[in-house]
Each structure stands twice: as C-alpha cells, then as structure tokens.
Structure 1
C-alpha cells in the first residue's frame, strides 16, 4: 500500500511566484536501481536512467499515487528493455495539499493559481536536475496535476520527454461566471473536513459514492496520509477545504490556456479519459487529437474522473503507450517523429 520513499526533500516553491519567500514543497524520491552490476565495463555502457514525476489531483496528495506507482515499477521490471535501467519516481504535494500544506499553514494566498502549480513543477525539475541527470523524464499527471504539467510544458517546451495526462481539466471556451458558480465541485467549500478519529473519518467517507469508488488502498492512504492529528485530539484534512474550493474556483484561465497550448506541443502527449467522467464527455475529449495530430494520442478507459485512484491497473497500459510513443515504437499507429533517448 504505502511506498516508502528513498528520501524526502523540502524545497522552496518557484522563485517567480508569490509566496516564494515563505512557502515550501515536500518532494519524495523513490529509487529503484537496476540489478545489473554497474561495475562491469560492458554493463555500465548500457545502463540507463529514467525518471517519472507524478502530480496529483485537487484535494488529494502524493500518497494517493502509491498503488499506481507500485504497479508501474512491478510492470517495468518485467520488461527486458528495463533490465539495465535505473528507475526513479518523484511524487510531491502541491503547496496547499498534503505535507506541503502542513508546512505552509497560515501562508496561503488568494493569488495562487494553476500556473503557480505549473511553475512549481518546473521548480522540482530544476532543483532535482531531472532534465540533465536522466536519459528520459516522463510526467504522469491527474486532473489539476495533469493540466499543470501541460502548462509547464507550454511555458518551458521540452521540459519532459513525454507526458501521460489523465483527465486533464481543459476548456475550449470561457465559461460565464454565473454558470461556473453552479458547478458541483464548488461544494467542496462546505464539505466536512474534521472528524473525531480516522475510523470515523473512513466510515463517514464510505457513505459517499465518490469515496466508495476509490481503490481500497487509495482510501486507506487518504485516511492515513491525507489527514493529520490536531492539537484538539481530532483529525483534519491536510488540504483545507477552502483551498480545495479555491483551486476549482480559479481554474478558468489556465484550463483555457492549457487547451490552446496543445497546438504547439513538441513532445509526445498521451491523453487518458474515463468513459464515465463528469468533467468531460468522450465526444468532447476526443477532439483534443485534432489540436495536434502529430503529437497527441488518446485512449478511453472505464471509470470516472478519479480513475487512477479507482483502478490503477487500467492506467499501466496507458503509461506503456506513452513510453512506446517516446521510444518511437513501430507498433504504435501514430508516427510522431520522436526518438528515444534510451
């Protein structure tokens, strides 16, 4: 269930953003070295390094990706092509989520937007030297995290070797304010965020259809790592409900910019949408390919908007398709012209 990190870093948020002088990001590094003996002269020539960074959805946290990460590393180790590859996973909490939120408690800003989260992705890339130290660097994002990765790639082309974006929040037009205020996601401002203990929290969440659909391990991780013990003896959400509401409430411009940016993508990007998504219908989602047929592919899977937290096993083949596109595998039906660094 829980995937223990090799190390945990605390780094500043991006220096271009408001809050740069006080706010921090908690970043976990998970290292999976190759079993190939690097001291061998023949093997050292072949040994490669690949990194994956995972960016979570609004209201969740880095540990929610652990079941997917566990399945992904197990799968990659079954592939002969990865026998001599050192693999690193990077997971992190957005500044108002998870452990980052606990560090930044009392410093949250109304000015914070999705673009700031995108810049924080860039901050992690630069702080960890992910472009310089690895032969490939792949982004895997969900919802808010996926859109942020697209924005980062728009701001800084070739930040990634490739992207697998799951249910990114995109908009091809500006939505009137009166309509936006009717969106169900904005009810997060009124959600319950404090309980007597973790067991009460879990039982309360299981009364809601949204949480019933989560993979059991993801729900356990949410209860154990998405909430914290208060000084009063209760437990409370690490991501304040006001901040979850704020993220939804300020999505307008960035979701539009991210959609517009698809036309100028320079790297392979594989979109994954769920057939039961409440954010985007399959018909609407399918149109993203038309924005850039050379670089974009798309697949649909069973589930809802929260599919990577509901059925992680369905996402593994989608990540493999992303890898195949990066590696320009001839078996793929889209020739995007990209060549692998591996």
Structure 2
C-alpha cells in the first residue's frame, strides 16, 4: 500500500498530508508530536487502513508544511480544523501523540460535531485554573533545554548517516526500524550539495518547545485568544487518555491534568513502552485504538 501525498491550502501556508487506504471509509486523523512528521505513523496507519481512510498531517513547522513565525497551541488546532474542513470530514476518529494530541483536543472543542472520539497519548496539558504568579517565567533549567535545541545537528552527509547516528541516540533507541526510516526519509530534505537537512530546523524546534515547557511548568498564558486549556472541559466526544509506563514523570503529570479537565475521560497505560509508544510498539497502539473504537 503506497500512501498518497497532497497538500491543503496555498503555497506559504500549505499543510502537507498523507493518506493511507481508499476513500469512503470512516476517517481517522493522526497527529504526530513535536519534531516529527506524518510518516512516523506509517506502521499504525497501514493497519488502520483496513477499516478507515487514514489521514495524517505534518504539523506547522514540520516536514513539508508551512513554517510560520508563531507556534501557539490554538494555531495548531486551527490547522487541524483547516484540514477537517478542506477534506469535508465528519465522524472523525482523532488519534494524537504528545503536543499533537493537544491539537486534536482543542480542535474537538472548536468543531464539536466532527469528531466521534479521540485517542490521545500523553497530551501536553496544563491546569488553567491553578493559581500561579502571572509574572512567572520559565525556570533556568527549562530555558536551557529550549535553547539547547538550537545546538541540535541539522545537517548530515546522507540519510544513511542520520539513521546510523540516531540508532544510538536514547530518544530513538527503542524505535522500530521502519519507524526510524520513515522519520528520516520524510523529516529531512535533500540539499543541492547532496547532504540532507532537518525539515524542522533547530531554530523552529526551539520556538515550538518554549510554549511546551511553559505548559509543563504551568506558566503558559496563551495569546490574544486566552489560555485554550480551559476548552478541555467542553469536549463532548468520548476521549481515551493514555500514558506509557517508561515515560518521563512530567508526561504522566500532564496526562493527569488533561484527565481532570476532560468530561468522562477514560485512561489506559501502555506497559513496557516509553513516550514514543507509536514508534516503539505500533501493534499495541493499533490494538488499543481498535478496542476503544469498538
């Protein structure tokens, strides 16, 4: 099964899309986490395509999608709504990971009649009702991590060189070979000199990470639209919020914040897996997604 590639919107603001399976089946919309691309869902999407028309997007700043100046959470949700409207999707099964899971949760509030259910893995979330100092900013430790993204190696001699390097990196150590190659093939662009470069540049990733760390530390204030995390309490469709046994404590904490806000949310823990469970144990994800849809 060869996935189909297309884009939504005019040049400069286009959202890159991938589709698995034939049109006409119930739609599933997959949204990746920070730093990745639509194709990291490939192993999951191929299985789900037997029962769904599966779509995934490159989130803004990633892959072949647009690279704007702002990366607020509501902006990402706007992009999801653009996709749903442009494709005329209804009865959507939204499946998201990390910050991409947050995109879907916010979009479900913005388009309440379009989603039948959401399966979200360790969403980025804060408690918008918690008391905090409005003048508070990121801790020195988090600011260092945001700035540390600027030092990420952006260019390599080849995609083979990227795979060789990433196989030994802790962040990718437990990924399946297919998932790693899917990321490297589509998360890097070929340069005229034969080298390859990250589509999500270190500068872009750093800009994306700042609001994420602000959410982690409960100091995110949003933009002119306000703090969107209060919207979680208005989500009407069934929601499954999952965590991963080997994930970092902050991801589990943010998932707990989401569960506390979302009406009647169900929970599930993937045992023996880390934060990138989709790429580490795709079969577990497919089974859980199918069980929730049943």
Q: TM-score range by the shorter chain?
A: 0.7 to 0.9
| TM-score, reference length from structure 2 | 0.84
CA distance in structure 1 between the partners assigned to 2:151 and 2:165 by the alignment = 15
**What is the aligned partner in structure 2 of residue 90 from structure 1?**
55
* Alignment of 1:23 onto 2:21: no
| TM-score, reference length from structure 1 | 0.73
SS at match of 1:147: helix
CA distance in structure 2 between the partners assigned to 1:264 and 1:49 by the alignment = 28
RMSD of the alignment, in Å? 2.5
Alpha-carbon deviations, 1:253-276, whole Å to 9, x = none?
46x945432322211011111122
CA distance in structure 1 between the partners assigned to 2:183 and 2:196 by the alignment = 12
**Retained in 2: the 8 A contact 1:157–1:265?**
yes
CA distance in structure 2 between the partners assigned to 1:180 and 1:167 by the alignment = 24
**What is the aligned partner in structure 2 of residue 59 from structure 1?**
35
**Retained in 1: the 8 A contact 2:18–2:39?**
no
**What is the aligned partner in structure 1 of residue 7 from structure 2?**
10
**Retained in 2: the 8 A contact 1:147–1:258?**
no
Compute the displacement of 1:282 (Å). 4.3
Could you list the runs of 5+ residues in structure 1 that have no partner in the other structure?
Answer: 14-20, 34-47, 77-86, 325-342
Compute the displacement of 1:158 (Å). 2.6
CA distance in structure 1 between the partners assigned to 2:158 and 2:60 by the alignment = 25
Alpha-carbon deviations, 1:129-160, whole Å to 9, x = none?
002xxxx3111111121101111112232331
**What is the aligned partner in structure 2 of residue 312 from structure 1?**
282
Compute the displacement of 1:316 (Å). 1.7
Compute the displacement of 1:178 (Å). 3.2
Structure ID, larger Rg: 1
Total equivalences in the alignment? 277
| Paired residues for 1:129-144 under 5 Å | 129-131=88-90, 136-144=91-99
CA distance in structure 1 between the partners assigned to 2:153 and 2:291 by the alignment = 39
Relative to 1, partners in 2 of residues 1:140 and 1:257: Cα closer, same or farther, differing over 3 Å? farther
Select which of 168, 193, 196 maps to 2:123.
168
Compute the displacement of 1:222 (Å). 1.6
